[in-house]
Amino acid sequence: MKKYLVYVLTFMTVVVLGLAFNAAAEEGITDTEIHIGQWGPQTGPAAPWGAVARGTDAYFKMINEEGGIHGRKLVHHYFDDGYNPAKTMGGVKQLQEDIGMFAWVSGVGTAPGLAVKDYLMDRKIPWIGPSAGSRHWIEPPNKYLFNTYPLYLGDAQLLCKYAVETLGFKNIAIAYQNDDYGKQGLEGAQKQLAKSGLKLVAEIPVNVADVDMKPHIMKFRNSEAEAVLLFVGPGHVARLQGTGKAMQFEPQWMTSTTCGDIPLMMAITKGGYAGTILASFGMMDPTAVGIGNIEDVNASTHPVLKKYHEEAFKKFAAKEERWGLTFAAGMGYVEPMIEALKNCGRDLTREKLVAEMEKIKDFQGIMGKVSFAPFKANDPSCRIGQTTVFLAQATADAKAKVLTDWVKTEYIPMGK
């Protein structure tokens, strides 16, 4: 028994001490390095979004291989927060105070982001491209926070507009995830339909933990919805579409940008996703592809995306990593920052980065056009970044048929 005791105590001591003293002391920016931080869930129920951080990581490695930025390499520190704001806060504090980040990029989720927003903004640390289309990032606008993800509000507007004006539907319903993301989709849809004098025929909340979708489908069926907007996660899209099909309820499904990974969606719905109309923020250029034409997302013709696939994904991603929307989005969110860093030149400061970010006009990488403007305290549009989205439709062979060109969406201020 005493032997066990010694083993247990030694084991615990090693773990505890090992965790306590592993911090290195470095500067946020040196002659050869730029330290960039990022959080993202690698564990827990939100772990599928962890690919964002890994995408950014591969992208930075690619840039370093190309010679870095004005002689400096990007050092990417990303950590797992398990989508738990308390852990996000802990990790951000540790990296910021122990190592010192020059800037923060992306970061999955509204709640973790909101938890650390004030901390970063109070310290005037730039934070670029939060990985969630929430209105909270730009209302009120912050000088150091640059949004690049098109707002969920915009997705919902465009989808509703298309359903009403092009497809001629009158009965539109929505399934929304019971959180900030879903609520903003709901609001966008309500506002857009009100313009045509319509109302959502059913507004059904989906809790993140819900598994059984039969009651939801019954409500939709009773509302005689012709189109159903899905502002839920990919798993719930699969469950809703599967249950719908089994109950012979097959409206025009429409999903937000969050569920726009067509190959993934086709795989998990076993083909049920075909025909779904999805809002998308990038990974192909609808202008180049042309309306009505079909693009294979896996063998993209987008020149920049093709390069990232070859140079970043194939070289630096783990062997079991999937080349998909989430991974690529991790690159897309930070492209404007890389552009600004390049424009900053050798003499790099945070203020200069902000100034260069503000100069970005109609920059286009693998997402839509991104523009910022000099900071105005009461004008969210100076930090909104990308305001355009386009619609595509999933085909039966997991490709995307382009339905619209980039469409500029209107910003709906909070509480109006």
Partner 1 sequence: MVDFLQMVLSGIAVGSSYALMGLGMVLIYKASEVPNFVQGEMALLPVFIAFMLLSTYNIPYYIAFPATLIFAFILGCFLEFAILRRAKEPNILGLIIITIGMEMMLLGFVSWKFGADQRAMPFPISTYDSIIIGDVFISSLDLLTLVVALVIMLTLFLFFRFSRMGVAMKATQMNENAAALMGIKTKQIRMVTWGISAVVGCVAGLLAAPVLVEPYMMWGPMLKGFAGAVVGGMTSLPGAVFGAYIVGIVEHLFGGYISIEFKSVVAFAIIVIVLCIKPSGLFARHYVKKV
Partner 2 sequence: MDRKRDYYEDVQIFTSGTIVFWSGVLILLLSIFPFIAKNYYVYVANFMAINVIVVVGLNILVGYTGQISMGHAGFFAIGAYGTIALMTHAHFPFLLALPCAGLVAALLGFLLGLPALRLEGPYLAIATLGFGITATQIIGKIKMFGERQGLHAPDLTIGSWHIETDKDFYFILIPITFFLVLVARNIIKTKVGRAFISIRDADIAASTMGVNLTLYKTLAFAVSAFYAGVGGGLYAFVLRFIEPELFSMFMSVMFLTMVVVGGLGSIMGSVAGACLLGFLDLQLRNILEIPYVGDWIRALSESYFTLTGVSNIQLIVFGLILIIIMLFEPLGIFGIWIRFKKYWMTWPF
Interface ranges with partner 1 (CB under 8 A): 42-43, 45, 47-48, 50, 178, 204-205, 207, 209-212, 214-216, 218-219, 222, 234-235, 238-239, 242-243, 245-248, 264, 267-270, 272, 320, 322
Report how far residue 95's alpha carbon sits from residue 373's, in angstroms, rounded to the nearest whole number: 30
47 binds partner 2 (CB under 8 A): yes
Q: Which does 48 bind (CB under 5 to 8 A by kind): partner 1, partner 2, none?
A: partner 1
Q: Which does 383 bind (CB under 5 to 8 A by kind): partner 2, partner 1, none?
A: none
Query: Among residues 33, 68, 85, 203, which is the contact residue for partner 2, using CB under 8 A?
Result: 85
Question: What minimum distance in Å lies between the beta carbon of 322 and partner 1?
Answer: 6
Query: Among residues 64, 94, 364, 395, which is the contact residue for partner 2, using CB under 8 A?
Result: 94
Site for partner 2 in 343-372 (CB under 8 A): none
For 248, phi then psi, to 5°, come to: 55, 40
CA distances from 326 to 205, 330, 378 (A): 24, 7, 32
User: Within 10 A of 159 (CB to CB), how many other CB atoms are there?
Assistant: 29
Q: Which does 94 bind (CB under 5 to 8 A by kind): partner 2, partner 1, none?
A: partner 2
Q: Which is nearer to partner 1, 41 or 380 (CB)?
A: 41
SS3 111: helix
Q: Which is nearer to partner 1, 105 or 213 (CB)?
A: 213
Report how far residue 163's alpha carbon sits from residue 170's, in angstroms, rounded to the nearest whole number: 8
Q: Which is nearer to partner 2, 207 or 349 (CB)?
A: 207
Question: What minimum distance in Å lies between the beta carbon of 288 and partner 1?
Answer: 29
User: Within 10 A of 157 (CB to CB), how many other CB atoms are there?
Assistant: 26
Q: Comparing C-alpha atoms, which of 137, 235, 233 is closest to residue 182? A: 233
Query: Among residues 318, 362, 377, 378, which is the contact residue for partner 2, using CB under 8 A?
Result: 318
Question: What minimum distance in Å lies between the beta carbon of 127 and partner 1?
Answer: 25
SS3 63: helix
DSSP 48: G
- Exposure class string for 373-408: b at 16+ Cβ within 10 A, else e: eebeeeebebbbbbbbbbbbbbbeebbbbbbbebbe
SS3 412: coil
Query: Among residues 3, 71, 212, 319, which is the contact residue for partner 2, using CB under 8 A?
Result: 319
SS3 367: strand
Residues making contact with partner 2 (CB under 8 A):
1-2, 4-5, 8-9, 11-12, 15-16, 18-20, 22-23, 42-43, 47, 50-51, 54, 79-82, 84-87, 89-91, 93-94, 97-98, 110-111, 114-115, 118, 136, 178-180, 182-183, 207-208, 318-321
